[in-house]
Amino acid sequence: MGATPAADGWSTAAVDQDHAFDYWRDLICDAFVQLSARPVLPGPFAGSIAHRALGEVELSTVTADAQRVDRTRSLIARSHEDYLLASVQLEGFGEVCQDGRVAGLRAGSMAFYDSTRPYTLEFGDHFRQLVVQVPRAALPVARVRDATAVALCGPGPGRLVTDFFVGLAREAQDGHPAPGLVPHAVGLFEYALGLAGSSAPGPEVTDAAVRQTVHRAIARMAGEPGVSAEDVAAACHVSRRTLFRVLAAEGRSLRELLRDERVRRARVVLRAEPRLPIAAVAGRCGFAGEAQLHRAFREVVGVSPGSYRAGSGDS
C-alpha cells in the first residue's frame, strides 16, 4: 500500500482502523526514509503528517500515538538514503537511540539522527514533533557521529534554533513559507549539529546520569504505594527499556530499590514514633500493607519491625 500526499499531508483517517498502522508504516517510509515500525500499546491507532519541502530542507509535523520506529541495517543496505534528521519535540515524550547513546526528548528539545546508521525512535504515549530533514550532501560537517542522539534542550543557542524551525514550519503550514528565512535553515541546522557534537557524552556518562535520575525519582516516589516501572520511567523521561538496562548494569532491580527506600523510611519512623501502629508505619512509607512491610523488613534488616523498634537489629 502506498501513501499519496493530500494537500496538507497524510493521515490514518483516510483508511479504516483495521489497516491504520499498516498505512502509517507506509506514510513514514514515504515521508522520511525506509523504516520498520510497530505500535507499543493495544487498541486503535491514529497518526498524521503535515509535510512541507522548503528548498533542501523538509519539515514534517508528526502527530501520532505510541510506537517504536527502527532504521535497521537491512533497510539501510536496501535503500541507500543519505539524510540527517532532527526531531524537535512539541508534545509528549520520546527517545532517540543511535551510536550507543539515548537522548530523551521532551517538549522544546531537539536531537539528531543519521539515516546511514541504525537508529530507534520510541514513544510511549501520544506525541507531536517536528522532524527536520536535510541531505547529508548539503552539510559540510565532518564528525556527524559525535552529534547523534544528543538532546539540545533548555534555554540557550539550541533553543533559538528549535524556535526558528518551529516557526518556519508554522508559517509554511499556514501558506506563508517566509522565503527570506529559508536560506538560513541549512546553516542553522548545521550550527545546532555542531552544538550537539560538542556536548555529546559517552554512553557510560549517559547511563550514570540516568542512574542518578532514577535514584532521585525513587527517593521521591517511594512513599506512594503501587509505584510502577512506567511511573518511574516517566518521571525520569526515559523508556522502560532504558530504565531496566541501566538498573541491570548496576545489578539492582527496581523492586529492590523501592523496597530498600521504603524500609529506610520505616526504620526512621519506627524509632521516631514508637507508639505509631505498624500498619500506619506501612502506609506512611509506601507499603501496600502491614504484611508487605514485615516481609520487606525481614529481607533487609533481618528482624521484624516490632523487634527493630524494641532495639533488636542494627540501628
Q: What is the pLDDT of residues 183-227, one digit of tens each?
A: 889 999 999 998 888 765 555 556 777 788 888 889 888 998 889
Q: Among 174, 199, 224, identify where a domain stops.
A: 199
Q: What percent of the chain has pLDDT over 90?
A: 56
DSSP state of 152: B
* Mean pLDDT confidence for 60-68: 96
What are the cell numbers at 98? 543511535
Tell me if 110 is assigned to some domain: yes
Whole-number average pLDDT of the chain: 88
Same domain, residue pair 270 and 229? yes
Q: Domain check: are 177 and 230 in the same one?
A: no
Query: Is residue 5 pLDDT above 50, yes or no?
Result: no
Residue 6, pLDDT score: 36
Is residue 66 included in any domain, yes or no?
yes
pLDDT at 271 over 80: yes
Mark whether 209 and 193 lie in a shared domain: no
What would the pLDDT profile of 146-164 be if each residue is shown by its tens digit? 889 888 987 888 899 999 9
Q: Do 43 and 96 have their domain in common?
A: yes
Q: Is residue 315 part of a domain?
A: no
Shared domain for 274 and 288, answered yes or no, is yes
Cross-strand partners of 135: 83
- Give yes or no: residues 151 and 251 share one domain: no
Domain end marker among 154, 170, 199 = 199
State the CB neighbour count (10 A cutoff) for residue 198. 11
The count of structural domains within the chain is 2
CATH number for the domain including 264?
1.10.10.60
* In-domain check, residue 1: no
| Residue 19 counted as domain residue | yes
Res. 248: pLDDT tops 50: yes
* pLDDT computed for residue 200 by the predictor: 57
Mean pLDDT of 64-92: 94
Under the banding of pLDDT at 50, 70 and 90, the label for residue 145 is confident
Q: Is the CB of residue 111 less than 8 Å from the CB of residue 196?
A: yes
The verdict on 185 and 217 lying in the same domain is no
109 and 238 belong to one structural domain: no
The C-alpha cell of 7 is what? 494537500
Q: Is the pLDDT of residue 3 over 50?
A: no
121 within a domain of the structure (yes/no): yes
159 and 289 part of one domain: no
Higher pLDDT, 85 or 198: 85
pLDDT above 50: residue 7: no
Q: How confident is the model at residue 180 (pLDDT cuts 50, 70, 90)?
A: confident
- Domain identity same for 180 and 50: yes
Quote the Cα angle for 301-304-306, to 5°.
125
User: Predicted confidence band at 141 (pLDDT cuts at 50, 70, 90)?
Assistant: low
Candidates 108, 117, 120; CA nearest to 136 is 117
pLDDT of residue 315: 47
Last residue of a domain, one of 146, 178, 199: 199
Beta bridge partners of 149: none
Provide mean pLDDT across the span 168-191. Answer: 85
- The answer to whether residues 223 and 284 touch, using CB atoms and an 8 Å cutoff, is yes
**pLDDT over 70 at 51, yes or no:** yes
Domain extent for 218? 205-310
State the pLDDT at residue 202.
Answer: 55
For residue 117, give every residue at least 6 positions away whose Cβ sits within 8 Å of its Cβ, in sequence order, or none. Answer: 71, 76, 98, 99, 145, 148
> Residues with Cβ < 8 Å from 283, sequence gap 6 or more?
225
**The domain that contains 46 carries what CATH number?**
2.60.120.10
Q: Which residue has the higher pLDDT, 207 or 285?
A: 285
In a domain, 2, yes or no: no
Note whether residue 4 is domain-resident.
no
Q: 0.75 cut: is pTM over it?
A: no
Q: What is the mean pLDDT of the segment spanning 3-30?
A: 83
Question: Are 108 and 138 members of one domain?
Answer: yes
Indicate if 68 and 139 belong to the same structural domain.
Answer: yes
